Structure formats: C-alpha cells, structure tokens
A and B are shown apart, each in its own frame.
Chain A
Amino acid sequence: MTSPFGQRMVILLTLLMGLILSVMPMSAGLQPWRPEWALMILLYWVMALPYRVNIGTCFIVGLAMDVLLGSNLGIHAAAYSFVGYIFANHYKRIRHFSLSQQALFVLLLVVVERSIVYLVEYYVNNATMQSSYFLPAVSSAIIWPWLFLLLRKIRRRFGVV
C-alpha cells in the first residue's frame, strides 16, 4: 500500500508518460497511426478509480494536449471531458466487458473524441479532413488490451486504490 501522495504520483506519472508519447517525434509513415496514448491512459484511470480521476482530470489533460499540439485552447479539453463523462457514467458496466469489447468501446470513444475536435476545428479554422484522420481509433483499439493489462499491473503493484 503506497501513501496517498505516492498513489497520486503514480497516476500523474502514467498520465505524463501518455502526454510524452502523444507528442514524441515519429517517422512519417507511422505518424497517422499514432494511438491516443494520453486519452487511453486517462480512460483507464477513470474506469479504475472513477471517484479520484474523472472529468476534472480529463479537462486538465485535454488542456495540456491543446498546449502541446498548439490547437486553440479548450478544444481537446472539451473533447476529453465529454469522453471521460461517458466512461465515468458507465464504468461499472465497462469493467465487466471482455478486453475485446473494451477495445471496441475505446475505438468508438476515440472516434467520438476526434469527431468533436474536427467539428470545432471546422467551425473555428475551417479545417479539412484527411482520409487518415480516424486511423488512431483503430490503433488505439489494438493497443488497448496490452495497455490495460500493463496499467492494471502498475496499479496493483503500487496499490493505488
């Protein structure tokens, strides 16, 4: 059992790792396939500890993404908050899903998140959609089961409850 402060640090460090992975330079070929690391790690914590990590945290991580990506402030914050809300609302049901069902749900939510971002960008900056825009949803779903198992291991190892 880790101290409450240590537990918070574990959550914070995994989220930081997610942010770093989200902006890490990648080769141009892999770039369109970059999974939504920060969002997935966020969703794991929302599902595991919905009373500690929920919309407030989602908002802050989303805002950090806005700054890191250089998009207009608030776009990712709103999208992450909304997706976090869906997850926090159904966390009991999602916990009982099989890993493949969870992955499908994650795919759906990444599509929702990216749609929100696209819609706002469209109204604000008149953005055009590229055909590869929803590829991260697929890669996120593929990564999810492994990420889930890894994060669960970390959570149990450090006794974060």
Chain B
Amino acid sequence: MTQLFNQHMSLRGRLTLAIVLAFLLLVLDLRMGAMQQVRMVLNSVVSPVQYMAAVPEQLLQRAYSSVRSRKSLRVENEDLKQEMLELRGRVQRFDFLAQENQRLRSLLASEAQLESTRMVAEVIAVDSDPFSQQVVINKGLVHGVFLGQPVIDDQGIVGQVSSVGASTARIILISDPSHGIPTRSERSGIRVVAQGVGETERMELMHVPHSTDLETGEMLFTSGLGGLFPEGYPVAVITRVRRDESLPFAQVEARPVAQLDRIRMVLLLWPADTVAEPDAGNIDPTANPTEALQ
C-alpha cells in the first residue's frame, strides 16, 4: 500500500493528521464546485470495483436466461409482440396528437416543444449507504452524460445525474432526502415541490396550504419549472392528504411511480436544445398551468 504517512510518526499524530485531512476534504466537498473535478477522477478510479461487484449478479442472470425453457421464451415473445402492437398503435395516435399540438402552439405563437433524445443505461450498483438514495449506471462522460441530466424508467421519473465518471455516473433518486422535484398535479394543475424523505415508497409535498385542491390518487407530473426536468413526465401518485389545522401546512404524501426499489434499466434524456441554462429551461411564459392541461 502507499505509505501516505511518515513511518516515524506516532499513532496519535497520524490519527490527528487523518482527521484533519478528512475534515478538510469534507469542507471542500460541501462546496461542490471545488471538488467536482476531483470526484470525477475518483469515480473513474473506483469504477472497476463497481463493475467487478456487478459481475456475479450478471452471471447469475445469464445462467438463468440460458436454462429457461423454450416454452416460457415463446410465451414471453408472444406477450412482447402483443405489447409492441398495442404500443405501436398508441404511438400512431401520439404522433398525430404531437403534430396537432405543435400546430396549435404555432397558432398561439408560443415556442414549440421539441423531442428529446434518449439512451438506455443499466444500473450496476445500488447504494448500501442508508443515508442516501443513489444508484450507479454504466454510462458516463464518454457517452455524453452530463451533470443534472434527467433519468426516467418505463413508469416515470427516477432522478437526476449527480456526478459523472469516465464510464459510470451516479444518479440521485427523487426519494433522496436532499432531492426535491417541481411537479404539477394532474387534475387541478397545482404546482408543488415533491421532496424525498429517504424511503423508496414515500415522498412529501412541501409547503402545501390547507385550502389546496389536492386529492388522494391524483397523479403528479413534472412541471418543467426549474429547467432541469422536461415537462409532463409522471413523478408520483398522492397517497395521503392530511389537513391538520394546528400545523402551518397540509401534510401530503405521495408514492413515486417509478419502481425505485428495483430499478435495473433506466433511460437518460437529452434535451432537444442542448444549451440548457439553469434558470431558462423550457418554461413557457405564456402558458398558465391549468390551461396547459386542457
């Protein structure tokens, strides 16, 4: 191993030095800008460990798929074909609606919303750290992944890229306690911030006044405010609304629609206009949220 410390130093001296160094690192790391580069290098250095750690599971999966019977494969194939037919049918309708929407938008002289590009990534590590909700994916700088990039699965929003290495990237999930996502409710179009609480099945809606028109079972979509997440992706379903007048705000809980506890494959989204400024983004100044839903 590397001899970081002088051999003749006393144990206590070494400990002091280590603690001071750790403290310095912590302070530097908390001021994100200073350490982003260092973190990128470190992420690249440890990425072989992550790839190695994912090997046994991948081998198991390969073994499992090679012993599956012909029959079960055929059944699955049938199912997938049917599902594809169904989705194709829906996409036809969707294309038509998208074009119509574009035309109507141009009639209203509001800016057109462009299609974004996507890439599939595989989750190679899930955090065992109980204080954060993060996963590591097998795509990184070389694939064009960037900081703050939105990530979805087949159901809805998963999270955003929080740090990038050469061939891996770390995604902070929407359920992380330090993560909040701007959303809009499906029925009433009310804008709320959904905050993670560190559990995969629960999120909290922040600063909701008692009079707000929210109901259980209502779907929350990304609002596009904040400029990070594109507008209109499902985020969570409201599971509980508690209006306790003794508290300053209503207690509203929601369950993320993405399956955060068992994500394997995710989609990385690239905005169509690649120059995304943090405060501009795709906010439509003319659209009133309630109108936009109709």
Residues of A near any B CB (own CB < 8 A): 8, 11-12, 15-16, 19-26, 28, 31, 34, 51-60, 62-64, 67-75, 77-78, 81-82, 85, 88-89, 118, 120-121, 124-128, 130, 132-133
Contacts and interface: CB of A to CB of B under 8 A. Distances in A.
Interface string B103-120: 000000000000000000
A67 to B, nearest CB: 5
A28 B261 contact: yes
A58 B18 contact: yes
Given A54-B11, A85-B12, A85-B15, 17 more contacts: A23-B125, A24-B53, A24-B56, A51-B7, A56-B5, A56-B14, A57-B1, A59-B21, A67-B42, A68-B49, A69-B128, A71-B132, A74-B21, A74-B22, A74-B24, A77-B18, A81-B19
Given A77-B22, A125-B178, A72 B49 contact: no
19 contacts: A20-B52, A21-B53, A23-B53, A53-B1, A55-B5, A55-B11, A56-B2, A57-B1, A63-B42, A67-B43, A68-B49, A68-B50, A70-B162, A74-B26, A77-B22, A77-B25, A78-B19, A82-B15, A124-B26
Interface string B34-56: 01001100110110011011101
A81 B50 contact: no
Given A70-B127, A127-B131, A60 B19 contact: no
B126 interface: yes
Per DSSP, chain A at the interface is helix
Interface of B: 1-5, 7, 11-12, 14-15, 18-19, 21-26, 28-30, 35, 38-39, 42-43, 45-46, 49-50, 52-54, 56-57, 125-132, 134, 136, 162-163, 170, 177-178, 198, 261-262
A78 B134 CA distance: 22
A135 B3 CA distance: 33
B2 A60 contact: yes
Interface centre among B18, B23, B24 (most CB of A within 10 A): B18
A41 B93 CA distance: 59
A130 to B, nearest CB: 6
Interface centre among A16, A82, A85 (most CB of B within 10 A): A85
Contacts of A63: 25, 42
Contacts of A121: 131
Given A81-B18, A126-B177, A73 B5 contact: no
A71 B129 CA distance: 8
Given A60-B2, A125-B178, A73 B128 contact: no
A81 to B, nearest CB: 4
A60 B4 CA distance: 9
Contacts of B49: 16, 19-20, 23, 64, 68
